Amino acid sequence: MPTDKIDTAKDFSKGAAWMWGKVLPTSQAALPVTDWGLTHSDITYDVVHAWDGRFFRLDDYLTRFEGSLEKLNLNIEQSRDDIRTILHQIVSKSQLQHAYVSFVASRGQPTVMGSRDPRDCQNHFYAWCVPFVWVFPEDVVKRGARLQVPDHVKRIAPNSVDPTAKNYHWGDFTQGLIQAKEQSFDNTLLLDENGHVTEGPGFNVFVLKDGRISTPKSGVLEGITRKVALEICQQHGIAVSVKDLSMTELLDADEVFATTTGGGIVPITRVNQRSYSNDAPGETTLALQATYWQWHQNGAMSEAIAY
Ligand code: PLP
């Protein structure tokens, strides 16, 4: 059908959103220009995926979102059950079998015009879905991603912006990404001010060295895929350490991988000038990745969306 014939008011095929109590195409969902979510990045969100018509580990995502609301003193009307219902409703409306599903709480607008007091703002919830988003494109997942650790930008300090409350403070990542892309890397990975490895835009990172797997302990979002990967390591009988990780340990690793809702367990084959396992995805990484996708068939870890 020619695109000019599509009635965009009714076209949900590219995603559906829930906002101010209404379901509308995601392309039409918008915040008022005075919303503090927009003017101050005073907002938290979470992202769950639907795969083959099922939400994977939705309760883990809902629990993390509730924690973020509490950390940021955001109060919304919707209960956990309401949020679950809304997420089902929008994915069902879109008919998407594989979807990226974002749910958000914003500080909102002050009820008293011009007020600078966050307590005057009317916090509000909204949600939207779009076709599944690969944080690393599918061909990069197959070949293994190439990351740059930049010198010129460090991760925002966790005592300034708490990375465990999922947020839109992406100024550091964006600067890292611009340089990484200009220098032909796939993505950026940031260190903190003490030189410890943190995370990248949308992913956590793991290293394998002499049969033991490690991932940064602090200064990162506690990714749900990171949590699932730790469970998979346990099932595979692989020892795990959650600890501070130096740049030297990252470069000395036998294998490196990323974890993200947008694509699962992703092999990393290069960091800066260093390449791992002959510039190919590592054997252990691929074994963990296979289990990650197998677990999507496990009914106990997912729930069906009623289309
Ligand atoms: N770190 C950051 C900064 C993120 O934004 C994300 C996800 O978007 C992750 C890590 C990975 O978390 P998850 O596995 O829950 O997608």
For residues 139-156, give the mean pLDDT: 98
For residues 33-60, give the mean pLDDT: 98
> 112 alpha carbon to ligand 1 midpoint, in Å?
35
**Distance from C-alpha of 121 to C-alpha of 108, rounded to nearest angstrom:** 6
**Distance from C-alpha of 51 to C-alpha of 301, rounded to nearest angstrom:** 12
Q: Which residues does a 6 A CB cutoff place in the pocket of ligand 1? A: 47, 199, 202-204, 221, 223-226, 259-261
Q: Does 51 score more than 50 pLDDT?
A: yes
pTM: 0.97
Instruction: Determine the residue of 177, 204, 226 to mutate for testing ligand 1's pocket, defined as the one with the most ligand atoms within 8 A of the Cβ atom.
Output: 204
Per-residue pLDDT tens over the stretch 195-226: 999 999 999 999 999 999 999 999 999 999 99
Token pair for 83: 């949020």
> 163 alpha carbon to ligand 1 midpoint, in Å?
10
Our CA angle for 296, 85, 11, nearest 5°, is 85
Q: Are 260 and 220 in contact (CB under 8 A)?
A: no
pLDDT at 7: 65
Phi and psi dihedrals of 198, rounded to 5? -110, -95
Q: Does 2 score more than 60 pLDDT?
A: no
Which of the four pLDDT bands, split at 50, 70 and 90, describes residue 8? low
Residues 6+ apart with CB under 8 A from 21: none
Q: Return the CATH fold of 138-295.
A: D-amino Acid Aminotransferase; Chain A, domain 2 (3.20.10)
Per-residue pLDDT tens over the stretch 243-289: 999 999 999 999 999 999 999 999 999 999 999 999 999 999 999 99
Q: Are 253 and 132 in contact (CB under 8 A)?
A: no
- Tell me which residue has its CA closest to atom 5 in ligand 1: 202
Average pLDDT, the chain: 96
Q: Return the CATH fold of 16-133.
A: D-amino Acid Aminotransferase; Chain A, domain 1 (3.30.470)
Token pair for 135: 């944080």
pLDDT at 10: 83
Residues 6+ apart with CB under 8 A from 255: 207, 208, 267, 276, 277, 282, 283, 284, 285
Q: Does 4 score more than 70 pLDDT?
A: no
- Tell me which residue has its CA closest to atom 2 in ligand 1: 202
Closest ligand 1 atom to the C-alpha of 163? Answer: 3
Closest ligand 1 atom to the C-alpha of 259? Answer: 14
Which of the four pLDDT bands, split at 50, 70 and 90, describes residue 1? very low
CATH 3.30.470.10 residue spans of the chain: 16-133
Pairing of strands 264-271, 187-188: unpaired
